[in-house]
Chains A and B, each alone.
Chain A
Amino acid sequence: MREIMAIEALREAFQEEMRNDKRVVLIGEDIGSKWHGAFKVTQGLAAEFGEERVRDTPISEAAIIGTAVGAAMTGLRPVAEIMFGDLIALAMDAICNQAAKIRYMFGGQVKVPVVIRTPFGGGKSLAAHHSSSFEAWFMHAAGLKIAMPSTPYDSKGLLKTAIRNIDDPVCFFEHKLCYLLKGHVPEEEYFIPFGEADIKREGADVTIVATFLMVHKSLKVAEEMAKEGISVEVIDPRTLVPFDIKTIINSVKKTGRVVVVSEDIKRAGITAEIASQIMEEGGFDYLDAPIKRVASLNTPIPFSPPLEDYVIPNEKRIAKAVKEVLA
């Protein structure tokens, strides 16, 4: 099977979906023929589909999302891009008060099939305004579906589903350091449903639930642990809303020990939500140790490499947590 990068997988998803449905329109800053997107995801799309459908916008995050929401309410299937995840703060009203609530407030009269894409994550010394992971904010706004793929395969399959098959607003979060990772992506068309976690590595002793780049770091830890005879299962939920708690509970029944790993900050982060769900949804009786959380420290993301490395979880911290739940 061929291997391609996540940015290429995302681009393919766009090509296929835009060929399939004229109503799919891309809106964002510098996504067109001059710049091709800050991370080159949209390279070549304006050339194939025209600048009417791949629309460069002013630097107006609120208008990018607001316009996409208005367009989604009235017949288009827009995909809006915010160049960096931190900048999504400029569009919070349009996302959390409008897109998320419109269908509900109006008693189901309309649907808002908009996809909002943005990259989160640090590790590139881009400092506090270009490195955050804000997925918890959106998990807390009722009415948004949330995908956060870690691999090229998941990126393409989930994006295609978000564009074609989901009529609700979708926050489609990407990770800057996952963009250039290569992975298997089939030539033939496929879709990945929301709400289905993926077991990235099977194991028997400890369950790691991880997202984004933390999936890859956890897999490295699992590899190392295997050498010591510790069998680690790594589960990537892939979508936060809907959330596949069943797959995780089934794993907990087997291992009895859980580490939840995420790059967003620990306080009120997604690791807290996931740990609580494990306790409430049937995991408690099977646990042999308290759940451990590994997440970014409760600071903004700093600039200097040693500082940034200290704040964001690394393999060492994940391994330490695994050892602790096994102790």
Chain B
Amino acid sequence: MKDVLTKKMDDSAKENNVLKENKGFKILVMLLMDVEKNKLIEMYRKLLELRRFEEKCWDLFSQNLIPGTIHLYLGQEAVAVGVCSNLNDADYVQSTHRGHGHCLAKGAKMDKMFAELMGKATGYCKGKGGSMHITDASVGLLGACGVVGAGIVIAPGAALSAKLQGIDQVVACFFGDGASNTGNFHEGLNIAATWDLPVVFVCENNLYAMGTKQSDVMKVENVADRAAAYGIPGVICDGNDVVDVYKTAYEAVKRAREGKGPTLIECKTYRHKGHSRFDQGKYRPEDEVEEWLSKDPIARMRERLLSMGILTDEDASRIEKKVEDEVEVAAKFALESPFPDPKTALDDVWVEESESE
């Protein structure tokens, strides 16, 4: 595999290896000593890309330039980046209604994403999908999905395709804590487990399904506990630590590639904003919000890279500036793009004759 973990870091890094007790679950602050330096820098850059993209979305949305609703990925960036940094171009990602981060992490381009969110003809889906169906099939995205839990039964199908065709492909299937209460969760995990399919199920547990607190609607403490019911590994990781997510997903992806079947990873994380459009998340206690904001995945990664001497302040600022510039250019492309001709609403229902094999 291309992401061989070889790099030895200096001894000072070991100071970061602290096991903390926090809010009923353990956060393992991982040692960075074996992750490649360039990989770490790229993950940091990607985290920033997701963050700045979503901040720009919020800005455009506030100006009424994005119709409908959006579910921002702010705060959960480490999950998509940590998981997708283990994937090859040929691998698949099944996304959710909160899917901008998954798309970017898998390689979708910001300009066509902004354009899609604004309903422009130049968007990935020509304006037919919007935020909840945004996808770039050319980079292995199986699509964002507006129905909570629905993707959990589609992902095993892509994995079955890979298995039967003998192609080395893994499917990362993202979903939230709320989706783990749907019947699709049960059917999807069971069928993937039974058939030893190369799927990595990634639960982004941000503690709330809209306004419903996870602990109010689940008797088990962790979504990962449910893996036992399917005879597959269930692993918990710190979803606000990109390196922990990366390493956890590394093992799960390896297992899938080796034909040993799926893994359920639960990433404990938190969304910075409300659920959607006008939700301010007032149902969440202030101290809880404060606590999670202090565990911001991007600030943590920056601090870590600086303290380890992988980046200087100057390096970090340069990367940040570059990402910000790219976001502006991409948004400009979308703003200047035309809306689709209304008549194109009739296109793409069916495969055209010319496209048939």
Query: Which A positions have Cβ atoms within 8 angstroms of B?
Result: 23, 25, 52-53, 55, 57-58, 60, 62-63, 65-76, 78, 93-94, 97-98, 102-111, 142-143, 165, 167-168
Q: How far is the CA of A192 from the CA of B145 in the complex (A)?
A: 35
Closest 7 CB pairs of A and B: A70-B157, A66-B153, A107-B125, A63-B187, A108-B348, A107-B126, A60-B187
Query: Is there contact, CB below 8 Å, between B125 and A105?
Result: yes
- Of B164, B184, B350, most buried by chain A (CB within 10 Å of CB) is B350
Please report the C-alpha to C-alpha distance between residue A113 and residue B152 in the assembled complex, in whole angstroms.
19
What residues of A have a CB within 8 angstroms of the CB of B194 in the complex? Answer: 58
| A67-B349 contact given A62-B184, A93-B147, A107-B129, CB 8 Å threshold | no
CA distance A65 to B92 in the complex (A): 19
Q: Point out the residues of chain B lying under 8 angstroms from A167, CB to CB.
A: 351, 355-357
Residues of the A chain whose Cβ atoms lie less than 8 Å from the Cβ of B156: 63, 66-67, 70
Closest to A103 in B: B348
Q: Are A108 and B157 in contact (CB under 8 A)?
A: no
In the assembled complex, the CB of B1 is this many whole angstroms from the nearest CB of chain A, namely 21
Complex CA gap A105/B124 in Å reads 10
Chain B 131-156 near chain A by CB (<8 Å), digits 1 or 0: 00101111000110111001011111
Output the residue of A71, A142, A143, A165 with the most chain B CB within 10 A: A71
B162 at the binding interface (Cβ < 8 Å): yes
With known contacts A105-B143, A108-B347, A76–B165 Cβ distance under 8 A: yes
Contact of B161 among A62, A70, A102 (CB under 8 A): A70
- With both beta carbons as reference points, the residue of chain A lying nearest to B184 in the complex is identified as A62
12 A-B Cβ contacts within 8 A? A58-B190, A60-B153, A63-B184, A63-B190, A66-B153, A66-B156, A93-B184, A97-B146, A98-B147, A104-B128, A107-B124, A143-B350
- Say how far B334's CB is from chain A's closest CB, in angstroms: 15
Known: A58-B191, A107-B348. A70 touches B143 (CB 8 A): no
Q: What distance in Å separates the Cβ of A272 from its nearest Cβ neighbour in chain B?
A: 22
**Also in contact, A168 and B351, with CB within 8 A (given A67-B156, A69-B157, A109-B125):** yes
Contact B351 A103 (CB under 8 A): yes
Give Cα distance in the complex from A103 to B183, angstroms. Answer: 24
> Is there contact, CB below 8 Å, between B133 and A106?
yes
B190 touches A70 (CB 8 A): no
Given contacts A58-B187, A58-B191, A66-B150, contact A106 B125 (CB under 8 A): yes
Quick one: closest A residue to B347, CB to CB?
A108
Nearest chain B CB to A208's CB is how many angstroms away? 30
Binary per-residue interface labels of chain B (322-357) against chain A in the complex, 1 for a CB within 8 Å, 0 otherwise: 000000000000000000000000011111000111
- A102: which B residues are within 8 A, CB to CB? 143
B178 within 8 A of A: no
- Evaluate contact between B161 and A109: CB separation under 8 angstroms: no
In Å, the complex CA distance between A25 and B143 comes to 23
> Whose C-beta in chain B lies nearest to the C-beta of A241?
B350
Q: Which residue of A lies closest to B94 (CB)?
A: A70
Cross-chain contact A70 with B125 (CB below 8 angstroms): no
B160 at the interface (CB under 8 A from A): yes
Q: Please judge, given known A-B contacts A71-B157, A97-B150, whether A143 and B165 are in contact too, CB under 8 Å.
A: no
Q: Are B133 and A67 in contact (CB under 8 A)?
A: no
Inter-subunit contact B129/A76 (CB<8 Å)? no
15 other A-B residue contacts (CB within 8 Å) besides A67-B157, A98-B147, A107-B129? A25-B164, A60-B191, A67-B154, A70-B154, A70-B161, A73-B142, A74-B92, A93-B147, A106-B124, A106-B135, A106-B143, A107-B128, A109-B136, A109-B137, A111-B351
B356/A62 in contact, CB under 8 A: no
Residues from chain A with a CB closer than 8 A to the CB of B351 are 103, 111, 167-168
Are B191 and A74 touching (Cβ within 8 A)? Answer: no
Question: B123 on the interface (CB 8 Å rule)?
Answer: yes
Chain B contacts for A142, CB-based, 8 A:
349
- Bound CA–CA A52/B203 (angstroms): 29
Known A-B contacts A93-B150, A109-B124, A167-B351; the reply to A67 vs B183 at CB < 8 A is no
Q: Is B188 located at the chain interface by the 8 A CB criterion?
A: yes
State the CA gap A157–B215 with chains docked (Å): 54
Contact residues in A for B195 (Cβ distance below 8 Å): 55
For residue B127, CB closer than 8 A to chain A, the reply is yes
Name the residue on B nearest A105 (C-beta): B133
User: B352 to chain A: closest CB distance in Å?
Assistant: 8
Contact of B164 among A52, A69, A107 (CB under 8 A): A52
| A74 → B minimal CB distance (Å) | 4
Complex contact B161–A71 (CB within 8 A): yes
Q: CB-CB < 8 A to B154: which residues of A?
A: 66-67, 69-70, 73, 94, 98
Report A-chain residues with C-beta under 8 Å of the C-beta of B124: 106-107, 109
Asked if B83 is at the interface (CB within 8 A of a chain A CB), the reply is no
**A164: min CB distance to chain B, Å:** 9
Is there an interface contact between B142 and A70, defined as CB atoms closer than 8 Å? yes
